[in-house]
Chains A and B, each alone.
Chain A
């Protein structure tokens, strides 16, 4: 158990190192000089050099990287080139908005996705099933930003239910961000439910006279749940991307929008900060998923 934990931690540190190194290298390779972009009041070469020196952008790559790592370990992600505020503060400031959006989206995606998946897995015909299938295929194939724009056009501009700017609360933005994960979960649940329902123990359960509802929820779903959980864990981390579009279009302040602006401005510390943050979210999600596995299937602990 402890060995496993140690493995995990060492693995995490290695990946963190990798992530920071790769980001560090990539953002320095892409064209566009952050100082020039910032000082578009057009400083002279000397002034540009001066700012660059102030920001430590003139030192050798390795030195910059090591300095960054040392600071990051102390919780200092650097100062944004553009806004001159500590990056950590900027991220923490925006985090609640994004977490709320991602949290509600994930809840919706899991709830709607699993329900729809069970229905289409169990009931194999009928118009409602076709309707659900069509809905899920549409959710899966419409890009988030198109869905968000459509949502605003329909509910904001035409029906006037929500304000065009901000989307008036979390419901509509979350629904848009939830669409793709929801469809993925539904499809996956359906496949698993169909698979599990053909297993011998289901036949046994039915033979014992268990109600159909009990068969589905207790015997089938429980066994289908582990793989569904895995995919949900992955989707949760991917929600970062989905929320970025939703934040842009619904005009909500948050980390996704922050990340897009950071790249546009070549704000190195901001980009690094947000990548590191996203990597951390991935880790945490993975751990949470592993933990739930063990709750669902204690045998895994001994494997």
Chain B
């Protein structure tokens, strides 16, 4: 794999990078000036799983990121409005060839253990990740050299131009945050259980299987442009690990939890009916879900069959059936909040058209047999659809099977555990049609997932023309030219019907009405810089 070797955890972990609506749904109230007597309190946040490694360079899961988001800070941040803003980097400069990035760090930032943050620490952290081949190194595959050029300045050189680099530095921020060399040395093998960062909250304690507690960092004197400068208003944060869906819901309903991650659309409906909650709303960013088409299957090598399958999907109905209306049909390979999205997909994407689908199958030489199924040479047009029961994918699969039977294609559903679904679709390629999901903030996602050099051998399309277009989307730096390649890529996916996009969801995060000043960005990162409880 020559360059950028990763895709990030959010997406891959099963929840995804998400983008903002821009409708204001991503912020609850503007912060108002606080007097000291309104500071304090503990916010309880629920999540379904537990972090496994809080050494940022080795962290892999979404849950690791939830904690590391609070305990750390990094070069650039994705603001709630979607823009890239300075975070630890006061300013940065990109050379004309797109190969050299110079960062100047903010002065006066200190680690939770009291050590000042320097460019040496930052470079040391990134070099440690690369040398030890830690998980964060996957985000640095395109980096050729790191160099300290001043106490607060350093340079990152790339092997080749990589258009989404700054976006990636922000998206992967939690994993690429600077670490304190002294803290790591002192904690030794136990560092991953008690992280030390420069962020607005300090790690306090981790009760395995139960919760993690963080406390306000009083030395946090700065802040990103979208929040006030200085320590957070809230004194403590508690993250509770609640694996059971219904308990997560009940805990939010009863007010035991103030912010509830990972609630299903069904649970959100319950809370909406309750009428007492505010919601942070963020659209899903990427491709979730879609039906992956295995091009090794002879019948699926015929573009007309792939087009027919696309035409046979009633996306509007899927949104109603599976999401209770909480989503939008998707026609192209990436959702609107992905950088590089081209709105034209809605015009050229496949509409729901049963008769057109049947015509295409007949053109491909299929005839209807007495069971109402198309067949050729006595072989019925029959596929196995691989799915799992997470995120209502089982309901989705049943609905798809039903829709496709209306165009004369027989579907057998194979239900497997979600880890197995992912393994088979992404890597093993042992499926015919398989429900997949990928979340990613940039169109580079298509290169990572579908190109011959990508990460997912099970999804790789192996089309030289597609490979060329996709590699242009990552190496073209000039933004108008890049957008043009992005358009071509999306157009090509639709023309070739290489996959079956379905819909994109919105993610709702309920917030207790007592809490205000909360916002969220593309990456599920809930900002609590300005958060405080409303006092009577």
Contact = CB atoms under 8 A, between A and B. Distances in A.
A83 B200 CA distance: 25
Interface of A: 31-33, 36-47, 50, 82-84, 90, 93-94, 97, 149, 152-153, 156-157, 160, 163-165, 248-254, 257-258, 261, 264, 266
B247 A251 contact: yes
The 6 closest A-B pairs by CB, nearest first: A253-B209, A40-B12, A44-B1, A164-B250, A32-B419, A253-B210
B347 interface: no
Contacts of B61: 40
Interface stretch (B2-10, B91-99, B284-292, B469-477): B2-10
A153 B207 CA distance: 26
Interface string B417-433: 10110111001000000
Contacts of A82: 52-53
A145 B424 CA distance: 31
Given A47-B138, A93-B208, A164-B256, A41 B247 contact: no
7 contacts: A31-B423, A41-B175, A44-B455, A165-B240, A248-B243, A253-B210, A258-B209
Interface of B: 1, 5-9, 12-13, 46, 50, 52-53, 60-61, 133, 135, 138, 175, 192, 207-210, 240-244, 246-247, 250-251, 253-254, 256-257, 416-417, 419-420, 422-424, 427, 448, 455-456
A94 B209 contact: yes
B138 A253 contact: no
A82 B250 CA distance: 29
Contacts of A32: 417, 419-420, 423
Given A47-B5, A163-B256, 18 more contacts: A31-B416, A32-B419, A33-B427, A39-B60, A40-B9, A41-B175, A43-B5, A45-B1, A82-B52, A83-B52, A84-B53, A97-B209, A157-B250, A163-B254, A164-B247, A165-B247, A253-B208, A261-B243
Contacts of B52: 82-83
A266 B419 contact: yes
Nearest to A257: B209
Contacts of A94: 208-209
Contact of B455 (A31, A42, A90, A266): A42
Contact of A47 (B46, B133, B210): B133
Contacts of A46: 1
Nearest to A166: B210
Contacts of B12: 40-42
Contact of B244 (A90, A153, A163, A249): A249
B138 A41 contact: yes
Contacts of A164: 247, 250-251, 253-254, 256
A152 B427 CA distance: 41
Contacts of B422: 40
A226 B325 CA distance: 61
Contacts of A42: 5-7, 12, 138, 448, 455-456
B209 A31 contact: no
A100 B210 CA distance: 16
Contact of A84 (B192, B209, B417): B192
A174 B427 CA distance: 43
Contacts of A264: 419
A153 B247 CA distance: 9
B208 A33 contact: no
B424 A31 contact: yes
Contact of B13 (A40, A43, A252): A40
A266 B419 CA distance: 9
B195 to A, nearest CB: 14
A152 B210 contact: no
Contact of B60 (A31, A41, A249, A253): A41
Contact of A41 (B8, B420, B456): B8
Contacts of A45: 1
Contact of B420 (A31, A84, A258): A31
A165 B423 contact: no
A45 B5 CA distance: 10
B7 A41 contact: yes
B236 to A, nearest CB: 16
A97 B243 CA distance: 17
Contacts of B210: 251-253
B66 to A, nearest CB: 15
B254 A156 contact: yes
Contacts of A153: 250
A53 B484 CA distance: 43
A82 B420 CA distance: 17
A165 B242 contact: yes
A251 B245 CA distance: 11
A164 B260 CA distance: 14
Contacts of B208: 90, 93-94, 253
A49 B419 CA distance: 19
A90 B209 CA distance: 10
